[in-house]
Amino acid sequence: DAKTTQPPSMDCAEGRAANLPCNHSTISGNEYVYWYRQIHSQGPQYIIHGLKNNETNEMASLIITEDRKSSTLILPHATLRDTAVYYCIVRTVSPYTGANSKLTFGKGITLSVRP
Amino acid sequence: NAGVTQTPKFQVLKTGQSMTLQCAQDMNHEYMSWYRQDPGMGLRLIHYSVGAGITDQGEVPNGYNVSRSTTEDFPLRLLSAAPSQTSVYFCASSYATGYEQYFGPGTRLTVT
């Protein structure tokens, strides 16, 4: 799976949009971009994923650049409960090989939402 | 649905003791896996299973055994605990290989 690069930390004000960047310059054509987050001491939580089109769900939006070498997770109205470590993960999705389901977690980006 | 449950939440072992960490899911998911998380590090895959009766090793399998006799349960056994196994252990499940994974609350294990 391709490697991802995220800044170590960022902060934003409560109620404002949080834009979390991720670089994945070696991504290949069959690799998806996944985002998970881990709120202090809890298990990771799935947020969103995408291949090349922008995606939106009830939690967040995912913007993937046209060349797919970077992406941005957007939390439109950050709250204090969004303070967490956010992981950007690139992985192949194959129904044939169980190992391709593994999630390779890096150190992620620590988002601090301030009141 | 309870989702993914793990027991115990906390455990302290002495070096050389054995124990089993329990993981269960009630979502009829085929794929289950175990990760460990050490301070300041990301999660590392220990073992995984693509269905009942099928298991395979992840990136850090040494010192751990698994079995999958039912779809619901995926216990992780520590054969002879070592201080290096002090960690937080997370179990995860997904509908099938390649789908998003749902994680349990974790078991915090200390080996003295």
The helix (H) or strand (E) run that includes residue B59 is: none
Report CB contact under 8 Å: B103, A45: yes
State pLDDT tens for residues A55-103: 999 999 999 999 999 999 999 999 999 999 999 998 876 555 544 556 7
Query: Which range has the worst mean pLDDT, A35-39, B25-29, B38-42, B108-112?
Result: B38-42
Nearest one of A84, A90, A38 to A64, comparing CA atoms: A90
Residues A4-51: pLDDT tens digits?
999 999 999 999 999 999 999 999 888 889 999 999 889 999 999 999
CB contact set of B108 (below 8 Å; sequence gap of 6+)? B9, B10, B11, B88, B89
What gap in Å lies between CA A22 and CA A81, rounded to an integer?
A: 21
Question: What does the pLDDT read at residue A1?
Answer: 59
- B100: contact with A, CB 8 A cutoff: yes
What is the model's pLDDT at position A104?
78
Residues 6+ apart with CB under 8 A from A80: A14, A113, A115
Find the closest chain A residue to B93 by CA distance: A101
Task: Say if CB A108 and CB A7 are below 8 A apart.
Answer: no
CA distance A71 to A74: 10
Residues B112/B103, Cβ–Cβ less than 8 Å: no
DSSP three-state, residue A83:
coil
User: Does A8 contact chain B (CB < 8 Å)?
Assistant: no
Partner A contacted by B103 (CB < 8 A): yes
Q: Does B39 touch chain A (CB under 8 A)?
A: no
Is B97 within 8 Å of A100 when comparing Cβ atoms? yes
